[in-house]
Amino acid sequence: MKKDTRILSGIQPTGKLHLGNYLGALKNWVALQDEFPQVCYYCIVDLHAVTAPYEPKELKQRVFDTALDFLAAGLDPDKAAIFIQSQVTEHSELMWLLNTITPIGSLERMTQYKDKKKRHADHINAGLLNYPILMAADILLYRATMVPVGEDQVQHLELTREIARKFNYTFGDTFPEPEPRLTRGARIMSLTAPENKMSKSDMERSYITLDEEPESIKSKLKKAVTDAGTSGDLGPGGQNLLTILEVIDPEAAKNFENDAKAGQIRYADLKSYLADKLTEYFGPFRERRQELASKPDAVWELLLDGTQQARRIASATLRDAKKKMGFI
């Protein structure tokens, strides 16, 4: 392992985590904490979450829910720092400094911004535009060298690299340029509109949370859209179900795929098999989550520990950046 490897990633507390968040991010985070213990920083990015409309009374509970999902999925506070973004105030301060060297044109080009602008047409705020600068601050504050992300975040990471280069060029060498670590292939689509990705802020029927009850998994999958494409082709809905099955039972997925190629697939069978497999796969997760939920003080304590670890690094980096910029 290179001595200076450091890993950072974050998830917004915008709802309970779903299969997409797990297969596209969390599963990979757990593997990385085992491969690179003591240098992973995993963050609940609540400052990002408030760029879209939300209910203030629910925010703290959502942060807590996300922490439960992190821990139940296998993130281990002895190997990785798990913390809440807003509690390390250096994130906001570095973001302001980076604001001053980021061209507005670069922000306006971001696909996610353009997409969110459409989705929240009555709530286009500066935070939505500046979202990638806060993400750059999250990453650069820890001098992260590797950022595990889904395909959808690669453009933001490229901007982070540009910001780091510009800062280094203008004020002197300060930040390494972080590399993306792409999660292989797992882009999970909505159950109700499989041309869109599975999203927490979408309607409940469109996603399966990691702690979803077996009956509910069954009923959501039963109603999942599975329009076949041309004959022998699964269509986006069926393909999505196979993508999910591939991760937990590759052999069965292959068999269903062969059935589909032969024009003999029975979606009811695929859905019912997948429901059983998901129920089994996430059984231990549900148990761990329930147990953790019954000890809220211990969970908040873990988050506090993680925050303290994060703050030690964050405050040293911010101090260095301010020094380079001439503040101190």
| Residues forming the active site | 116, 197, 200
Q: Does 201 bind ligand AQP (CB under 6 A)?
A: yes
Residue 218 Cβ vs ligand AQP, minimum distance, rounded to whole Å: 21
Q: Does 21 bind ligand AQP (CB under 6 A)?
A: yes
Contacts 24+ apart (CB under 8 A), 217-223: 217/275, 217/278, 217/279, 218/272, 218/275, 218/279, 220/191, 221/191, 221/271, 221/272, 221/274, 221/275, 221/278, 222/271, 222/275, 223/191, 223/192
Q: Does 88 bind ligand AQP (CB under 6 A)?
A: no
Q: d(Cα 307, Cα 87) in Å, to the nearest integer?
A: 7
Pairing relation of β-strands 40-44 and 80-84? parallel
Residue 49 Cβ vs ligand AQP, minimum distance, rounded to whole Å: 7
Neighbours of 287 (CB within 10 A): 12
Residue 1 Cβ vs ligand AQP, minimum distance, rounded to whole Å: 23
Of residues 211 and 265, the one with the C-beta less far from ligand AQP: 211
**Taking CB positions, which residue lies at the least distance from ligand AQP?**
24
Q: Does 12 bind ligand AQP (CB under 6 A)?
A: yes
Q: In this chain, which stretch among 193-201, 226-234, 288-296, 312-320 interacts with ligand AQP, using CB under 6 A?
A: 193-201
Where in 145-174 is the site for ligand AQP (CB under 6 A)?
149-150, 152-153
Residue 297 Cβ vs ligand AQP, minimum distance, rounded to whole Å: 26
Of residues 88 and 186, the one with the C-beta less far from ligand AQP: 186
**Cβ–Cβ < 8 Å for 187, 155:** no
Residue 292 Cβ vs ligand AQP, minimum distance, rounded to whole Å: 20
Q: In this chain, which stretch among 97-105, 192-200, 250-258, 312-320 interacts with ligand AQP, using CB under 6 A?
A: 192-200
Of residues 119 and 266, the one with the C-beta less far from ligand AQP: 119
Q: Is the dihedral of CA 154, 158, 164, 167 positive or negative?
A: negative
Structure token pair of residue 153: 């975040």
**Cβ–Cβ < 8 Å for 207, 18:** yes
Question: What are the backbone angles phi and psi of residue 129, rounded to the nearest 5°?
Answer: -70, -40
Q: d(Cα 44, Cα 302) in Å, to the nearest integer?
A: 13
Return the residue of 143, 161, 200, 220 that touches ligand AQP, per CB under 6 A. 200
Of residues 186 and 278, the one with the C-beta less far from ligand AQP: 186
Contact residues: ligand AQP, CB under 6 A? 11-12, 14, 20-21, 23-25, 149-150, 152-153, 186-188, 197-201
